[in-house]
């Protein structure tokens, strides 16, 4: 059968390039592996040249595969299931990339693209390490190509192709018709939660972090494979610093997206997918510090191997957790069940990199050089190793709790998550923050191998006193108010706050006292300073987060749902009901629900809320602003809420709609009752009465802010409810170039609509139409927080990343001009991304 309007050439070309990428990756892997085994220089070079050519062919093929998918999605060729599931014509162009990597295939392809970029750089820069390092990256590319192959080999399906046709995958009589494309109006479109600025840039940065972790892994493998056990560390350190910066920023970009797009009121909820990305970063931090120890003292080489290997292993394990459906309902971020073929393929991907690497490590364990002399407790390397060990053990704690579904599946157990998931992590990690904060403060004041105790005490005394004073001042004038987990946990928060402030002050002081202001060598201190500020911001913003939408005495109660991240039911008393045009006090603000408007996407509706803050004495308005949180209203009366935030330097006002009426399900079927009245006459309705005070001809202004260009008349009416509340209604009739127009007025608090219906026959009275709506009163339910000093989180992140890049530049030996250019670009990119979002 010939189907009309299909563009099959794009899918066939894309799939062809997937197969070429797979074949080229296979050839590159084999050639690089053989080259790594050759001792003859000419033979080695010949194999390397062949491997390079194969890898470059693979690079171009991967880029052409992405181009084919982009072409299909941008043109909305919904004959392809990829475009049908992830795009729609209403979708803004800026979200087109987000729709591509929403799918598993697109995110695997994004990962592969970054491997291509990193591989090309390594071909140019890795020199004698090229063959063993690139054999690892080419092997990873082989598996990533398999993920999107979608072919059958001996009856077994390998991967899922992004170029399958909708009519082949979705059963239905419509797809058997030659003109089925004319009958399908549009695609499903991008998930509403992903229609956010951060979802355009967060996945590329995060996957660059994921992809780059393979480089320290590959260097560690190269060291074992070539028996050059310690030589790999020097070229690996700059890459480890790069990974740490990029992956850390990528993770927190996800936190920024959650803060702006999800309604749980925060940026981190210990969701399994969040944890799965955090764990490799924490192990990478541990490995980075042990590599630095080895370069300085010769200690911790074995630990460096183990951490470099485990970092990438846990990247693959996080892929297994989030892409196979094994997490089930424990995460709102994980991909849905992907089918047995993909499950097995990801498991093989994990096994092929994990088992041989660990086996090679343990076989060579005794051959790996190790210093016989133990580190002493008065040395820098001892405390650096303790810090690395704390990071590693913390990562193991997090991944063990996250892996509960896997443990249950393997052992048939029925372990259940704790009732309060968030606190089960926080009560441990607050202790980790204390230890890491103190270690970050004092360790750099030690010297390698040995340091007199009096020297350390003398240098650290002033930062200790300053940190203690700042913490004391905070406790007195701005105390932490997180009481819900008891005084013990509150005390731990204060200790953690002291430790992180201590780390920030001590690192700032060390730049001037220990390094004499030499910023070129201060990358580590700057990174530690940024990390400390970030954790300080987390402690203060979370510890003093305040709900300002509390309304204990309500006119009516809306039952709140269960938050999909925290797994806890929202408290109705923390949500305020706002009737349209009726102001309510909310914290320091008076809030009025003005109106709503539709967005460009189907079902999206913005709710415009006016905030005013008045001076307590003069009652003058000190500030006013409008927030417009939005929701996607579904046909089944479910809704997805997107917050809106007012950003200040010292705090954020965070709001989201927790309940809104669906206008389609709340249609008004009432009708107007018309009465003829003169000035002073009364009209009764079921909840009260109204009096026509006067009729104003050609009023100079009106409450609707409608420009009047011709004759007009307005009825000034006072509405009095049974509870003695009074409201004003001012319906109008005006004449303009389009004719006679009636402007109705609405008293939302009474569900009342008032119309100026005309003038009586004898022109002594006017006609007023009154309609009492039989639908629910127009209102929204709002939840609002104040997040104090949350900008410390984002500022700390940027400073930490800049410090890591500074260290990377120094370790990589870049020229002064080149290093300055890289640092300036990194700093500008980070500030631009976060400022643009705000």
| pLDDT tens-digit series, residues 771-806 | 987 676 778 899 999 999 999 999 999 999 999 999
Q: Which residue has the tokens 């509405």?
A: 719
Phi and psi at residue 68, to the nearest 5°: -65, -45
For the cut 80, the answer to whether the pLDDT of residue 829 exceeds it is no
For the cut 50, the answer to whether the pLDDT of residue 418 exceeds it is yes
Give the list of residues 6+ apart from residue 727 with CB closer than 8 angstroms, or none.
718, 719, 721, 747, 749, 750
Q: Give residue 220's Cα distance to chain centre.
A: 31
| pLDDT tens-digit series, residues 437-449 | 999 999 999 999 8
For the cut 70, the answer to whether the pLDDT of residue 814 exceeds it is yes
Instruction: Report the relative pairing of strands 644-647 and 651-660 from DSSP bridges.
Output: antiparallel
pLDDT at 563: 53
| pLDDT tens-digit series, residues 125-144 | 999 999 999 999 999 999 99
Q: Is 44 helix (H, G, I), strand (E, B) or coil?
A: helix
Q: What's the whole-number mean pLDDT along residues 307-312? A: 98
- Going by C-alpha positions, the residue among 624, 632, 577 that lies closest to residue 777 is 577
For the cut 50, the answer to whether the pLDDT of residue 206 exceeds it is yes
**Helices and strands in the chain: count of H runs, count of E runs:** 22, 23
pLDDT at 558: 57
pLDDT at 637: 57
For the cut 50, the answer to whether the pLDDT of residue 121 exceeds it is yes
- Nearest-angstrom CA–CA distance, 384 and 717: 76
Q: What's the whole-number mean pLDDT along residues 565-593? A: 79
- Going by C-alpha positions, the residue among 674, 699, 661 that lies closest to residue 753 is 674
Q: What's the whole-number mean pLDDT along residues 561-584? A: 70
Give the list of residues 6+ apart from residue 349 with CB closer than 8 angstroms, or none.
143, 316, 319
- Going by C-alpha positions, the residue among 820, 245, 237, 807 that lies closest to residue 522 is 807
CB–CB of 505/569 below 8 Å? no
Give the list of residues 6+ apart from residue 792 with CB closer than 8 angstroms, or none.
533, 534, 536, 537, 540, 541
Q: Is 644 helix (H, G, I), strand (E, B) or coil?
A: strand
If one counts every other C-beta atom within 10 angstroms of the C-beta of residue 386, the result is 17
Q: Give residue 121's Cα distance to chain centre.
A: 29
| pLDDT tens-digit series, residues 727-765 | 999 999 988 766 788 888 888 778 888 999 998 888 889
Total number of residues shown for the chain? 838
| pLDDT tens-digit series, residues 521-559 | 899 999 999 999 999 999 999 999 999 998 765 555 555
- Nearest-angstrom CA–CA distance, 513 and 444: 11
Instruction: Report the relative pairing of strands 745-747 and 739-743 from DSSP bridges.
Output: unpaired
Q: Is 695 helix (H, G, I), strand (E, B) or coil?
A: strand
- Nearest-angstrom CA–CA distance, 318 and 334: 10
CB–CB of 583/590 below 8 Å? yes
């Amino acid at each position: 059968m010939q189907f009309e309007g299909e563009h099959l050439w794009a899918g066939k070309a894309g799939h062809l390039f997937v197969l070429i990428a797979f074949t080229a990756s296979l050839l590159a892997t084999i050639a690089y592996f053989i080259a790594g085994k050759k001792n003859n220089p000419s033979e080695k070079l010949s194999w390397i040249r062949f491997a390079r050519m194969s890898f470059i062919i693979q690079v171009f093929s991967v880029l052409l595969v992405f181009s084919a998918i982009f072409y299909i999605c941008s043109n909305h060729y919904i004959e392809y299931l990829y475009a049908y599931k992830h795009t729609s014509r209403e979708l803004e162009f800026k979200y087109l990339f987000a729709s591509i990597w929403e799918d598993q295939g697109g995110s695997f392809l994004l990962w592969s693209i970054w491997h291509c970029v990193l591989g090309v750089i390594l071909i140019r820069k890795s020199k004698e390490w090229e063959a063993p390092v690139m054999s690892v990256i080419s092997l990873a590319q082989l598996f990533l190509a398999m993920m999107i192959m979608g072919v059958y080999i001996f009856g077994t399906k390998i991967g899922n192709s992004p170029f399958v046709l909708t009519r082949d995958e979705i059963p239905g009589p419509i797809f058997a018709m030659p003109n089925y494309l004319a009958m399908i109006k549009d695609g499903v479109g991008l998930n509403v939660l992903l229609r956010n600025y951060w979802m355009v840039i967060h996945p590329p940065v995060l996957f660059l972090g994921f992809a780059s972790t393979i480089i320290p892994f590959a260097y560690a493998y190269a060291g074992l494979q070539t028996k050059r056990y310690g030589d790999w560390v020097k070229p690996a350190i700059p890459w480890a610093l790069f990974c740490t910066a990029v992956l850390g920023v990528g993770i927190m970009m996800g936190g920024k997206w959650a803060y702006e797009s999800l309604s749980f009121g925060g940026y981190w909820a210990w969701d399994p997918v969040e944890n799965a990305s955090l764990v490799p970063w924490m192990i990478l931090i541990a490995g980075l510090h042990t590599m630095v120890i080895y370069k300085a003292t010769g200690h911790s080489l074995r630990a460096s191997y183990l951490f470099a290997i485990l970092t990438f292993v846990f990247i693959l394990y996080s892929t297994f957790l989030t892409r196979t459906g094994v997490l089930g309902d424990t995460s709102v971020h994980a991909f849905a069940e992907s089918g047995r073929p993909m499950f097995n393929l990801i498991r093989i991907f994990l096994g092929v990199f994990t088992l041989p690497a660990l086996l090679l490590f343990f076989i060579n364990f005794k051959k790996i050089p190790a210093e016989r002399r133990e580190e002493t407790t008065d040395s820098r390397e001892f405390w650096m190793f303790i810090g690395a060990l704390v990071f590693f053990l913390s990562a193991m704690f997090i991944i063990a709790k996250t892996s509960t579904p896997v443990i249950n599946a393997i052992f048939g157990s029925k372990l259940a998550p704790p009732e309060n998931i968030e606190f089960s992590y926080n009560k441990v990690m607050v202790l980790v923050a204390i230890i890491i904060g103190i270690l970050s403060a004092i360790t750099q004041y030690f010297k390698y191998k040995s340091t007199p105790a009096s020297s350390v005490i003398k240098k650290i005394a002033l930062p200790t006193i300053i940190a203690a004073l700042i913490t004391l001042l905070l406790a007195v004038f701005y105390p932490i108010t997180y009481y819900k987990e008891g005084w013990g946990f509150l005390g731990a928060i204060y200790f953690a706050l002291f430790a992180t402030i201590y780390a920030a002050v001590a690192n700032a002081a060390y730049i001037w006292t220990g390094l004499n202001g030499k910023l070129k060598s201060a990358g580590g201190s700057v990174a530690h300073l940024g990390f400390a500020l970030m954790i300080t911001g987390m402690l203060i913003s979370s510890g003093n987060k305040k709900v300002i939408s509390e309304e204990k005495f309500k006119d009516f109660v809306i039952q709140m749902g269960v938050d999909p991240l925290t797994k806890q039911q929202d408290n109705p008393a923390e949500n305020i009901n706002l009737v349209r045009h009726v102001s309510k006090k909310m914290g320091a603000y008076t809030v009025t629900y003005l109106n709503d408007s539709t967005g460009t996407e189907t079902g999206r509706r913005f709710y415009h809320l006016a905030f005013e803050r008045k001076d307590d004495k003069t009652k003058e308005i000190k500030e006013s602003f409008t927030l417009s949180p939005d929701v996607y209203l579904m046909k089944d009366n479910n809704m997805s809420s997107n917050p809106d935030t007012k950003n200040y330097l010292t705090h954020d006002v965070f709001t989201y709609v927790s309940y809104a009426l669906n206008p389609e399900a709340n249609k008004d079927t009432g009708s107007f009752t018309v009465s003829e009245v003169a000035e002073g006459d009364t009209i009764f309705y079921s909840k009260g009465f109204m009096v026509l005070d006067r009729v104003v001809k050609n009023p100079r202004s009106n409450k609707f802010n409608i420009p009047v260009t011709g004759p007009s008349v307005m009825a000034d009416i006072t509405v009095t409810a049974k509870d003695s509340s009074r409201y004003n209604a001012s319906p109008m009739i005006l004449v303009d170039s389009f004719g006679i127009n009636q402007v109705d007025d609405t008293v939302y608090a009474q569900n009342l609509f008032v119309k100026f219906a005309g003038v009586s026959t004898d022109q002594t009275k006017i006609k007023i139409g009154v309609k009492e709506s039989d639908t629910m009163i127009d209102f929204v339910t709002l939840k609002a927080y104040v997040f104090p000093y949350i900008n410390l989180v984002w500022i700390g992140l940027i400073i930490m990343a800049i410090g890591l890049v500074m260290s990377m530049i120094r370790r990589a030996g870049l020229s002064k001009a080149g290093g300055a250019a890289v640092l300036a670009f990194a700093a500008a990119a980070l500030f631009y991304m976060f400022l643009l979002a705000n």
